[in-house]
Amino acid sequence: MTVSVLVPSSISREAEDKREATRKLGYVARAATIFRADRLVVYPDREGETGQFDGGFVSTVLRYAATPPYLRNEAWGMRDELEYAGILPPLRAMSQTGSESTGSGSSRQGIVTEVGPEGRVRVNCGLQHPISLNVPPNMAVEEGERVTVRISSRRPVRAKLVDEPLPGLSIEQTDLRAALGREDAGVRIAASRFGEELTVGRLETLAGRVQRDGMTVAFGAPERGLPAILGIEASAVEASSDRDDAADDEVEPTADPGFDLWLNTVPDQGSEVVRTEEALFATLAPLSLRE
């Protein structure tokens, strides 16, 4: 069961400057982390991009935000896109094991600082000094590569290199349809003000499916929602949502075949515009509830 959050490359299109764009992306990363998303995917929206805040900028800032603080200097160095990285809110992500990332029995990201003889490497994983570890059989690593380290004890240090995906939030760039077509996409939801209103009844229907299958939730950009990005008339989305029966166990497809449903999670919004980072919190919170 996985949770994927999809945001467009145009997500920072309304930002007045780099500082504001960085702040916005920090809250996007926070929302994805708080609600335990496995992947935060940036999909292309070339027509909606403005100025310097394109998909490359968005992905770089999000990847930096998702990098553990103890690895940031070594992994990123000095980059123009990260001029205001200091204002990013800390994610303080829990490890995949359920323990805090600073505690024993947790998985951590590390960077290989030296490849030595006899299948040993030195890894910086945020402890006082880089540690020497054996490379598991059939696993090849290179200097500068990020790896997963499982720590069983901090005093004394006992750790091992494991051939597993990096713990924490993964930042990816891929096409929207490709992200929706993944085998582990789960329930594919389009967050839009033109979608079906999220009610208690609909949430009861969705909760079991999401808990069992996971979910992929896609968001639009400021003043450019998903219908505009996909070239779908808002009226078509509304008509499709009106035909959905909230009592059905199976969610019917809507105007776009890539989604299982279009969902309005702020059905009586008091502001004319709900910002994308606000929509993430408003959407992921109820969808994370259990039966």
Q: Note down pLDDT in tens along the chain; length 291 residues.
A: 899 999 999 999 999 999 999 999 999 999 999 999 999 999 999 999 987 899 999 999 999 999 999 999 999 988 999 999 999 999 988 754 334 445 556 889 999 999 998 889 999 998 888 999 999 988 999 999 999 999 888 888 889 999 988 888 999 999 999 999 999 999 999 999 999 999 999 998 899 999 999 999 999 999 899 999 998 888 888 767 666 544 444 444 444 658 999 999 999 888 888 999 999 999 999 999 987
In terms of Cα–Cα distance, which of 145, 147, 179 is closest to 162? 147
Strand order in the sheet with 120-124: 131-134, 120-124, 106-115, 146-154, 157-162
Main-chain phi, psi angles of 149, to 5 degrees: -120, 130
- CA dist 260 → 35, 189, 195, 240, 290 (Å): 21, 6, 11, 11, 20
Closest by CA to 179, choosing from 256, 115, 59, 259, is 259
